């Protein structure tokens, strides 16, 4: 769950976000496409554990090429700035992930 979600007042959280916070379960955000036919192309579910703190983890359901880096959270760029990315040496377009069948 993104850190921004955890910092929202509870009245602005969705039921899904609240449930994830209470149960500790992680949901996977589809990127870059919000909806995708899982039979049409591969989808990777990737869990990012950034620290031992559960608030610093998130999941992505990657359904096409994306980039991890710093900057504005664009359609294909996952912004790691809230996770001290600059301090850790993460570049603006640090790494590309492209799901494949294998």
Who's near 49: CB < 8 A, 6+ residues apart?
A: 56, 57
- pLDDT tens, residue order, the chain (102 aa): 554 555 556 666 667 666 666 666 778 888 898 887 767 788 898 988 877 666 778 899 999 999 999 988 677 899 999 888 898 899 999 999 999 987
What sign has the CA pseudo-torsion 82, 97, 48, 50?
A: negative
Domain boundaries defined on the chain: 28-97
Q: Strands 77-79, 66-69: parallel, antiparallel or unpaired by DSSP?
A: parallel
The SS3 assignment for 40 reads coil
The SS3 assignment for 27 reads coil
Tell me, what's the pLDDT at 74?
73
- The residue length of the chain stands at 102
Place of tokens 């990657």: 62
Instruction: Write down the pTM of the prediction.
Output: 0.69
């Amino acid at each position: 769950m993104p850190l921004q979600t955890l910092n929202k007042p509870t009245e602005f959280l969705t039921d899904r976000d609240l449930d994830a916070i209470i149960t500790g379960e992680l949901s996977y955000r589809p990127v870059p496409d919000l909806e995708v036919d899982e039979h049409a192309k591969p989808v990777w579910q990737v869990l990012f554990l950034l620290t031992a703190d559960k608030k610093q983890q998130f999941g992505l359901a990657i359904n096409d090429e994306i980039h991890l880096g710093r900057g504005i959270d664009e359609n294909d760029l996952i912004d790691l700035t809230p996770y001290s990315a600059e301090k850790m040496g993460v570049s603006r377009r640090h790494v590309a992930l492209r799901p494949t069948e294998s």
